[in-house]
């Protein structure tokens, strides 16, 4: 059984995601096998907020070279979570 802390791996903090926070959208790296409903439940339980919408995307690993050897970095899943209008902000991102 997956716990909410297993589903949300870490938040993604970049310039683009900081701009999305003005629209109450937060970006997380999530478990590769997590579904939208599991992500919604995890965010609502951990941060005590109301989620309106969840968008997910699979990010493929980049091709990397080390001399003559070629490999790939790990593929992962990204989730953009939009909070409901009456919901409070996620306190984790305050002051960034």
Number of structural domains, the chain?
Answer: 1
Classify residue 66: in a domain, yes or no: yes
Classify residue 53: in a domain, yes or no: yes
Alpha carbon distance 41, 70 (integer Å): 39
CATH code: domain of residue 70: 3.30.70.330
Return the pLDDT at 93: 67
CB neighbours of 60 closer than 8 A, spacing ≥ 6?
75
Classify residue 16: in a domain, yes or no: yes
pTM for this one? 0.89
Classify residue 20: in a domain, yes or no: yes
Q: What's the burial of 73, exposed, middle or buried (CB within 10 Å: 0-12/13-18/19+)?
A: exposed
Classify residue 92: in a domain, yes or no: no
Classify residue 65: in a domain, yes or no: yes
pLDDT digits (tens, 9 = 90+) for 9-57: 999 999 999 999 999 999 999 999 999 999 999 999 999 999 999 999 9
Domain of residue 19: give its range: 4-84
């Amino acid at each position: 059984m997956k716990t909410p802390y297993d589903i949300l791996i870490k938040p993604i903090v970049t310039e683009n995601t900081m701009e999305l926070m003005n629209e109450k959208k937060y970006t997380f790296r999530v478990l590769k096998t997590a579904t939208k409903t599991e992500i919604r439940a995890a965010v609502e339980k951990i941060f005590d907020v109301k989620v309106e919408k969840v968008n997910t995307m699979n990010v493929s690993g980049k091709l990397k070279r080390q001399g003559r050897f070629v490999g790939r970095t790990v593929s992962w899943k990204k989730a953009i979570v939009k909070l409901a209008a009456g919901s409070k902000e996620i306190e984790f991102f305050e002051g960034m």
